Each structure stands twice: as C-alpha cells, then as structure tokens.
Amino acid sequence: MIIENVQVFREEQYFAPGEIVIHDGVFAKTANSMKEEVIDGEGCYAVPGLIDLHFHGCAGVDFCDAKGDTLRKMAEYEASVGVTSICPAVMTMGEEELLAVMRTARNNQDGEGAKLTGINLEGPFLNEKKKGAQAAEHIRNCDLKLYRSLQKESGGLIRIVDLAPEKEGAMEFIEAIRSETVVSLAHTLADYETSMEAFRRGASHVTHLFNAMPPLHHREPGVIGAAYDTKSCRVELISDGVHVHPAAVRMVFRMFGAERVILISDSMRATGLGDGQYTLGGQEVFVEGARAVLEDGTLAGSVTNLMECVRKAVKEMGIPLEEALTCVTRNPALELGIYDRCGSIAPGKAADLVLLDTKLQVKAVYINGKKFIPPC
Ligand SMILES: [Zn+2]
C-alpha cells in the first residue's frame, strides 16, 4: 500500500513531502513495482501513532475497573484519536484489587485498537502528603514482595514503577528493580539531595512534572531541579491546559529540551464523554469542561486525550509541532524500550500511522498497516 501526497514526519523529527509505503503491516523503503493499492493522503501530515504511557481511563471506563472488556474499550477509544500504543496506569489500591487489575490486563490483550505495551504502576509507593487523587488508606512503603507478585500476575507487563524516594526503603527498592523497569519519582516531597540520590541509584523518570511535588524554588530546587541536573532523566508533562500553565510548559521545553519531555494525558474515565459525576480510584470526581476535580477541588486526572494535548501544546502554548510530536512518539517509545518496533516512521517498524489535516484533526489511523475503523 502507498499513501501518497503527504507531509511525512521523518525519523529525524522534521517534515518532508513524500509518500508512505506499507508492506505486511510494516513500513517499507520502496514500493513494489506493480499492484500497489494507492491512497491519496490529500496533503495531510503523516505521523507515527501516538504513545500514551500515563493515563487511567477514557470512554467511560477505568483501567482499574478490571473487567473483561475494560481494555478493549480503552484501546478502541485511544486508537480512534490516534493513540496506537498504550501503557495505562493503576491508581493506589489494596493488594487484592491491584492483583485483579494485573490479571485482567494479562488476560485481555488481544482486542482491536491501540496495543497494550505495558502497565504503569502509579501507586501505592507514594507520599500521602502529596497524594493528589490517590487513596490515602492504601498508600504504603516500597515493598519488593508486593511489586514482584504484581509483576508476576501481570505476566511481566509492568514497565514503569512510581515512588516517592523519601519513603522508607525506597533507595534499596530502586536498586533492586532498576534493571527490569523504569523507576519514576512521583507524588513526593523529596528535596533536591534525596531526588539526586534516587537518580544515582537508578531512577530515570519523573511523573507529571510540577503536579504532586514541591514547586521549583530557587533555594530548594527539589525534584524538578534534580531532574534537570540528571541529563539521562525524562519528565512527563500534562499539556491539557489545566494541570500546568502554558508558560511553565514552554519553560520545560526550553530547560529540558524536547528530547527529554514526554507528553501524557493522565486521562480518566470521563475523557471522550461530557460533564458530570464520575469515579477515579474509588473517589467521586466532578467534571466540568476540561477540569476533573475531587470534592475538595484537588485535580483528579484530566479529561483530555493525548492528541488533544498535542493540539493544545502547539496551538495554545507555542510548542513547535515537530517538538510536540517527538514527545508523544519517539520519547515514550524509547522510555518503554519499544523504539525498535514503533515510535517513528522507519522501514521495518510497525505501520502505526496517523493522518492529520492542517488543523491537526485525525483523518485516518492505521495500526500494523490496517486502517482502524472505530466500531459504532
Ligand atoms: Zn498522579
């Protein structure tokens, strides 16, 4: 198949006019001489399928519902908005509930839509004083035994583990798991020194920078300053226009450089629906417009999908399109260790592709070279 007349987002992170060739579900270098199906791309941008490595739910379901069709509904919604790989996040819950989420994910990976590429364990190893919308009663110290049993139950799907490095036993825990999963600093009160120590021990990621951590202070730079000083560390950013001020988003792109930023949606179950009352991790959430809050006003995830976060970053925050795209394709693929098979348009990689018009609206989505048609 050839998709011609498109602006191709190349692996080197710039656009060039050209065509896309797909054979047997993967991108190919050159077209076969005859009998290719040719599609007119109508001047669209052709970009790699997006990768969301931190979101909780959408389309009325939450990953933690742990029902048989939860993942299918999430995967279908995400694919329909151009997100072709997902690494959903669990909230802080009790051990039995977490085990059930892991089991359900392991047993329900073969539906249509976005591909499950991992699980993000956002709780329960967090600081209760920075819990955000996480359930305080289930927050606990870093627990290697619990992590191991969750990892086993998931069939090895856990790719990111969040923790507050000031918690008892956190440093030893980081060293014990660093070779098998990404360790991310999250929901924390850690100071600069503690954060630097965590990065030295093997942490390499920061969860939703600015949110659920102390702000950047000139005498107490905290996690944000330590992340900046650790060049191998990547940071998540929620560019939904609610969680982080546009000026702070621009500052992070300047400070860290686009190659170190990963845009995430952090979306919850109301995403794709409308205003109303929902739940997140067992707590009531009230949604109005782009805001989702607990009863006390605490932000409770976003209601903006990752493609919309890209649109906002580009149109409302002044981030160049090429940089925003790098932060939702190449960077998360590298972080999840899947860049050899997706995250860019390159020969041999899975043909996960999105066609966007000049307003960045999704015109078509291909997964493994097959056009995704959302079920009605
Ligand atoms: Zn969070």
Residue 191 bears catalytic tag: no
Domain that holds residue 282: 50-341
* Whole-angstrom distance, CA of residue 224 vs CA of residue 221: 6
CA of 217 to the centre of ligand 1 (A): 21
Percent of the chain at pLDDT exceeding 70: 100
φ and ψ at 195, to 5 degrees? -65, -45
CA of 79 to the centre of ligand 1 (A): 23
Same domain membership, residue 161 and residue 105: yes
Same domain membership, residue 352 and residue 225: no
Same domain membership, residue 318 and residue 368: no
CA of 133 to the centre of ligand 1 (A): 7
pLDDT band for position 374 (50/70/90)?
confident
- CATH code for position 6: 2.30.40.10
Same domain membership, residue 287 and residue 371: no
Examine the pLDDT at 237 and tell me if it is beyond 80. Answer: yes
Number of domains in the chain: 2
CA of 96 to the centre of ligand 1 (A): 21
Q: Which of 24, 266, 275, 340 is catalytic?
A: 266
Entry pTM: 0.96
Q: Where are the alpha helices (DSSP H) in 122-259?
A: 144-154, 170-177, 192-201, 222-229, 246-256
Q: What is the pLDDT of residues 7-29, one digit of tens each?
A: 999 999 999 999 999 999 999 99
* Whole-angstrom distance, CA of residue 69 vs CA of residue 75: 10
Same domain membership, residue 353 and residue 282: no
Same domain membership, residue 304 and residue 223: yes
Same domain membership, residue 123 and residue 64: yes
CA of 108 to the centre of ligand 1 (A): 25
pLDDT band for position 280 (50/70/90)?
confident
CA within 13 Å, CB half, 355: 19
* Whole-angstrom distance, CA of residue 102 vs CA of residue 99: 5
Same domain membership, residue 244 and residue 335: yes
- Count Cβ atoms below 10 Å from residue 124 Cβ, excluding itself: 26
CA of 54 to the centre of ligand 1 (A): 9
pLDDT band for position 30 (50/70/90)?
confident
Same domain membership, residue 326 and residue 349: no
Same domain membership, residue 223 and residue 351: no
Using alpha carbons, select from 120, 95, 142, 140 the residue that is nearest to residue 207. 120
- CATH code for position 83: 3.20.20.140
Same domain membership, residue 25 and residue 79: no
Distances in Å between the Cα of 127 and the Cα atoms of 98, 120, 135, 147, 167 are 18, 17, 11, 17, 7
Tokens 């995403």 -> residue: 271
* Whole-angstrom distance, CA of residue 88 vs CA of residue 371: 23
Same domain membership, residue 67 and residue 6: no
